[in-house]
């Protein structure tokens, strides 16, 4: 049986080196500086594109949105570019129950199926449906990058929406960029978040039907609290020739990373509501997730993903091992990112009231906790029986053309600086 440890040992044997020498240290510093340069210049270029689009195409709503969606795709390509520079051997292993894969046809070819321990398909191709919601357990700050990359492999990178902490909205430059992506920033205070979430979700939902702002329509009125009220007939199903905008919404019902602190708080909350705490995941938040599914009436598919990382013992926390600095600048990424995929139709989710939905969600999270338990006991492998699962190994990468679109600005900047340096020196 192919296990996480055997795969990781094989990968490590390919990439291991002797005790770092001065040359090696200089090489790592150079990679770090190169990554930083590419990220800063790439992010500035993307934000500049957004700024110009907002200024000059404000009256061309659909063209403007198309170009802003393109900037979304460029941003995930930028992040994966940094990954590839620092950790070129990072693999994503996808495990899907055969019955789920047959039903949803998430991966339709044998390309990428594990046949030996060292190879991986470079160009991953998946078939996640649009008008869908993706949920997952939350382990490290970069979980969403891998989920966004999965959307990229289904040609949905430009149609992603993510629920994020409101504090991220204030990050210089990047905050402006994420606002242009129409990401949803939440303060975790339901009194404030409810209207914000309601407004954003209605916009996404109506645009996916060709009946929202991107089709030239506007809410009927706005309440004193800031809630947008649309005409009732706007929500009635109807056929129209307006452009329909796909979406995939990513959210983490736990609301935060698994850590020693958050695990203790989750256990205290479990005791307060008379529930058993989980060992490997946090208790999910019911209210916001319920609002998402109720409002997104066009969402027909829910993808329930479970993420695990190689090199993380059960009694430790992934966020302490794979930090943002380590992942993006120091090449300290997991050798394998394990993603277990399950899927449900909307009709399988009890949405009649929040109490019933809450019970259903806690049951799902209990299964997720058991799945993580199995992962650790199986030495880093989600599979219980080889014959019941499809397993694929992909390189976490993008197309060369997408890389080129990101690297043009940094390369030209480097050439300009080099020419200036040579001119001054000689």
33 token code pair: 């500086």
Per-residue pLDDT averaged across 260-288, rounded? 94
Q: What tens digit of pLDDT does each residue of 355-390 get?
A: 999 999 999 999 999 999 999 999 999 988 878 999
- pLDDT at position 294 is 96
Per-residue pLDDT averaged across 108-120, rounded? 75
Let me know: does 304 contact 342? Beta carbons within 8 Å.
yes
pLDDT category, 16, cuts 50, 70, 90? very low
**Burial grade of 226 (CB within 10 A; 0-12, 13-18, 19 or more):** exposed
Q: What is the mean pLDDT of the chain?
A: 89
Instruction: Report the alpha-carbon distance of residue 380 to residue 309 in Å, rounded.
Output: 8
Q: What tens digit of pLDDT does each residue of 325-340 get?
A: 888 777 788 889 999 9
pLDDT tops 70 at residue 115: no
pLDDT tops 80 at residue 349: yes
Q: What tens digit of pLDDT does each residue of 130-185 get?
A: 999 999 999 999 999 999 999 999 999 999 999 998 888 888 888 999 999 999 99
pLDDT tops 70 at residue 55: yes
- pLDDT at position 12 is 45
pLDDT tops 90 at residue 320: yes
Instruction: Report the alpha-carbon distance of residue 49 to residue 160 in Å, rounded.
Output: 18
pLDDT category, 414, cuts 50, 70, 90? low
- pLDDT at position 241 is 81
Q: Which of 284, 278, 258, 257 is nearest to 370 (CA)?
A: 278
Structural domain boundaries in the chain: 4-425
Q: Among the listed ranges 153-162, 251-260, 408-417, which one has the minimum average pLDDT value?
A: 408-417
């Amino acid at each position: 049986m192919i296990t996480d440890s055997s795969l990781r040992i094989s990968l490590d044997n390919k990439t291991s080196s002797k005790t770092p020498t001065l040359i090696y240290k200089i090489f790592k510093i150079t990679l770090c500086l190169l990554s930083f340069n590419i990220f800063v210049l790439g992010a500035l270029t993307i934000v500049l594109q957004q700024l110009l689009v907002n200024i000059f195409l404000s009256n061309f709503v659909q063209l403007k949105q198309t170009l802003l969606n393109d900037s979304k795709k460029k941003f995930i390509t930028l992040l994966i570019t940094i990954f590839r520079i620092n950790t070129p051997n990072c693999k994503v292993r996808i495990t899907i129950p055969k019955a789920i894969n047959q039903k949803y046809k998430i991966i339709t070819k044998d390309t990428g199926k594990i046949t030996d321990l060292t190879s991986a398909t470079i160009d991953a191709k998946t078939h996640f449906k649009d008008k869908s919601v993706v949920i997952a357990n939350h382990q490290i700050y970069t979980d969403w990058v891998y989920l966004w990359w999965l959307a990229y492999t289904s040609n949905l990178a430009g149609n992603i929406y993510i629920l994020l902490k409101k504090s991220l909205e204030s990050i210089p430059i990047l905050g402006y960029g994420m606002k242009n992506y129409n990401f949803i920033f939440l303060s975790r205070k339901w009194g404030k978040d409810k209207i914000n979430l309601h407004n954003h979700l209605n916009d996404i939902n109506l645009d996916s039907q060709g009946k929202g702002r991107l089709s030239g329509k506007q809410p009927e009125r706005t309440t004193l609290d800031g809630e947008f009220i649309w005409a009732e007939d706007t929500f009635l199903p109807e056929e129209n020739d307006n452009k329909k905008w796909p979406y995939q919404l990513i959210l983490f019902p736990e609301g935060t990373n698994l850590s020693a602190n958050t695990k203790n708080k989750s256990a205290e909350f479990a005791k307060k509501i008379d529930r058993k705490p989980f060992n490997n995941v946090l208790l999910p938040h019911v209210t916001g997730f319920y609002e998402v599914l109720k409002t997104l009436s066009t969402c027909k598919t829910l993808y329930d993903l479970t993420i695990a990382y190689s090199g993380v013992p059960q009694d430790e926390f992934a966020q302490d091992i794979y930090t943002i600095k380590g992942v993006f600048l120091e090449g300290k990424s997991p050798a394998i990112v394990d993603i277990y995929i399950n899927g449900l139709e909307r009709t399988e989710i009890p949405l009649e009231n929040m109490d019933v939905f809450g019970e259903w969600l806690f049951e799902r999270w209990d299964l997720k906790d058991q799945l993580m338990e199995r992962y650790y006991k199986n030495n880093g492998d989600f599979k219980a029986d080889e014959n019941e699962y499809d397993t694929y190994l992909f390189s976490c990468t993008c197309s060369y053309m997408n890389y080129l679109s990101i690297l043009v600005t940094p390369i030209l900047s480097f050439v300009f600086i080099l020419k200036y340096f040579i001119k001054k020196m000689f």
